[in-house]
Amino acid sequence: MASKDGSDRRWPDFVMTIGDIKVFWEHAGMLTKNQYLMKHKKKLEWYQRQGLASQLIVSHEIDGLNTKKIRDVVSYLKEGKRVLKINCV
């Protein structure tokens, strides 16, 4: 996916189209590793600069992967509901 000005590209882990809205899902699987964490922060900043932060879902495994919450988020999206913020997905 190209940035607004075309100077940069990012490849989200998952992209879903819900109605006419694209939802981007990034899975941050190694947040306990400092170098990965720094890259992840830059990726989040990129989404913010592109005006896509409201269309971004981020999951992680800090306290284990909560598959029920992930299924719930996917169900909400399939029903056309908006997911504003879910902790520890």
Q: 84 lies in a domain?
A: no
Whether residue 2 lies inside any domain: the answer is no
The C-alpha angle with vertex 71 and arms to 29 and 58, in degrees rounded to 5, equals 35
Query: Rounded mean pLDDT of the chain?
Result: 83
Is residue 53 domain-resident? Answer: yes
Least confident of 27-36, 43-52, 67-76: 67-76
Residue 87: predicted pLDDT: 47
Task: Please give the Cα distance from 18 to 73 (Å, whole number).
Answer: 13
Q: Kindly state whether residue 26 falls inside one of the protein's structural domains.
A: yes
Q: Which structural domain, as residue segments, surrounds residue 51? A: 14-78
pLDDT digits (tens, 9 = 90+) for 25-41: 998 888 889 999 999 99
pTM: 0.76
* Count of domains forming the chain: 1
In a domain? residue 52: yes
Asked if residue 46 belongs to a domain, the reply is yes
Domain-located, residue 55:
yes
Would you tell me how many other CB atoms lie within 10 Å of the CB of residue 15? Answer: 12
**Is residue 7 included in any domain, yes or no?**
no
